[in-house]
Amino acid sequence: MFKRQFICRFTYQKPSLVRQNLRNLSQQIPKNSQPSTTTTSSSWSFKSHSKKYIFFGILGAGTITYFSNDTFHDGVRHTYLTAGRVSVVTWATLQCFYHYRKVLNSSHESKTEYYDDLSKCHLKCAKITLKALEKNGGIYIKLGQHISAMTYLLPREWTDTMIPLQDKCPESTFEEIEQLIKTDLGLPIEDLFSSFDKSPIGVASLAQVHIGVLKATGEKVAVKCQHPSLKQFVPLDIYLTQSVFTALDKVFPDYPLVWLGDELQSSIYVELNFNKEAENAIKTSEYFENFQKETALRIPKIVSSSNRVLIMEYIGGARLDNLDYMSEHHISRSEVSSCLSHIFNNMIFTPGVGVHCDPHGGNLAIRPKPATDANPSNTHNFEIILYDHGLYRNVPTQMRRDYAHFWLALLDKDQEKMQKYALKFAGITEEQFPLFAAAITGRDINTALNYDASKIRSDEEVKNMKDALAGGEMLTDLMKILSKIPRVVLLILKTNDLTRHLDETLQNPLGPERTFLILSNYCAKTTYAEECELSRKDSFIFKWFNYFKAWIKYQERSSQLFIYDLIMLFQNWIHS
């Protein structure tokens, strides 16, 4: 009670006195001052700038971390590059979708006008794709090389546009190669090589090759180094390519290409293992030592290998389409053609050998046989060099036999058997057969069913075939057929296409006849082995009778090649 009275007495003042005190107080305070809100204003000012402080603080800390921490630095760089690769693929895909949709959904007054517009669209989209593949590099270059080789399937505008990718590939820096060798081989370059060329002699989609001299032995070697960037981007690139092909399949179901993405995925990781490439090279080299007379094949000797670095003997040479080089060194083009036919038919038809999966012109070279080479089994004055053994495929036994029967029927012009074995080894129906026969022989449909091995393809026939594939139903039907056949059959088609192209490039004076007689000989040998195996199940008398019948059929085929060679030998002797 006392307190309350005291406070009341102390605080109570007359109203007039209160007003006077307020006036005195207001005169003491500056006009711009707001004392009652000083604390609040200060708090508001800090809050308004706190976001800026936090932003610049994080930016500063991030900058310091980026330049001082390699792991963080690499992570940021990888994220940036990943986003770039994705955007390149996405933008190119959207542009191609737009252009094709525009042509396919437009009305045309005639088929000729439609095919002209489609051809222009093919070329425009191929150029867009080429730029995207070149920008991303790596396996995209590999994809472009596959496209350039599929002349039996894709329009000329696409295959011709991708040709530069066979020789024009992004190069890794010497610093990257130096670090790669140190990481994979455990020693710096100067400890392994007495000399090492900083500039590569060749750059491919997956690797580049440098010339070096081994410090330990003084041997001149070729050092194949995988592009270091592949390791971090291959999984992403595989995913992107498969996504693009899947999208293409949904938007353009008449042009199925999903199998191309699947093929790339199944092969790329094998090709990136250089230890496997070394194993394939050694195995193939040892096998063909016994066939030097027929093939003149030379495979560089392997010195050492790791997952990403392959060291082999250096063997230089010229491309097989360099006719001036062959003339200069007195190399017979007809002999070269025969050797190529023996090499690849031996791979296809011999059990356990395996077929080289990338037999394009850049992986083959030729050189005069060195005078120091004392190999008596090689009677030729040249050697055919085969590079890049990263991927081989084995042809299943029954498929190999059915394929042999198919070619024998084709050469005999027996359409009934041709259709029978095309169905067996490739799943080709009677309706699809004429187009498939044209694809596998490289002839137009009118001549494919009545195949004449001695007839050379004219320029007009080649042009008509390519024009037919440039658009229309034939291309659609062919893509549908080839998208469903086994991948090994596609590889065989690719190999056939290569040998046929090289044979024409060599301008073989003997024409294709001897090439097909060699093929016939390998087919006959394959079917003879099959019939002998089946005869073992017969009774004793029938077994030997069937053996003899099979042997007669084989001799009939092989004697054709023997007689042909005798005639050619006699003609050369007369004109010499």
Q: How does pLDDT run across 532-554, given as a tens digit for each residue?
A: 888 877 766 777 777 888 888 88
* Residue scoring higher pLDDT (54 or 328): 328
Q: Which of 49-53, 324-328, 554-558 has the lowest mean pLDDT?
A: 49-53
What average pLDDT does range 328-352 have in this prediction?
93
CA atoms of 150 and 479, how far apart (whole Å): 11
Active-site residue numbers?
358
What confidence tens digit (pLDDT) does each residue in 462-492 have?
A: 666 666 665 556 777 877 887 788 888 888 8
Q: Could you report the per-residue pLDDT of 385-442, keeping only the tens digit for each?
A: 999 999 899 999 999 999 999 999 988 888 899 999 999 999 999 888 988 888 787 7
Please, what's the b/e burial string for 57-91 (b: 16 or more CB within 10 A of its CB; e: otherwise)? eeeeeeeeeeeeeeeeeeeeeeeeeeeebbebbee
Q: Return d(Cα 225, Cα 222) in angstroms, integer.
A: 10
Mean pLDDT on 272-295? 96
* pLDDT tens-digit readout, 346-368: 999 999 899 998 877 778 999 99
For the chain, give the percent of residues with pLDDT over 70.
Answer: 78
Half-sphere exposure of 322 (CA within 13 A, CB side): 14
pLDDT of 30 higher than 70: no
pLDDT in tens, 48-69: 555 555 545 544 555 454 444 4
- Domain-by-domain residue ranges, the chain? 52-167+233-266, 169-227, 397-401+410-494+508-575
**Which runs of E-coded beta strand occur in 266-339?**
297-298, 302-305, 309-313
Higher model confidence: residue 186 or residue 169? 186
List the single range of 146-160, 323-337, 377-391 with lowest mean pLDDT: 146-160
- Write down the pLDDT at residue 536: 78
User: Nearest CA to 411 among 285, 555, 522?
Assistant: 522
Judged by phi (left if over 0) then psi (alpha if -120 to 50, else beta), residue 315 lies in beta
Query: Could you tell me how many residues make up the chain?
Result: 576
**Between residues 58 and 152, which one has the greater pLDDT?**
152
- Tokens 């293409």 -> residue: 248
- Among 185, 195, 208, which Cα is nearest to 387's? 208
- Per-residue pLDDT tens for 499-527? 777 877 888 777 777 888 899 999 999 99
Encode burial over 460-471: b for 16+ CB neighbours within 10 A, e otherwise.
ebeeebeebbbb
pLDDT for the residue numbered 506: 86
Report pLDDT for 212. Answer: 98
CA gap 8, 263 in Å, rounded? 97
Please tell me the pTM assigned to this model.
0.76
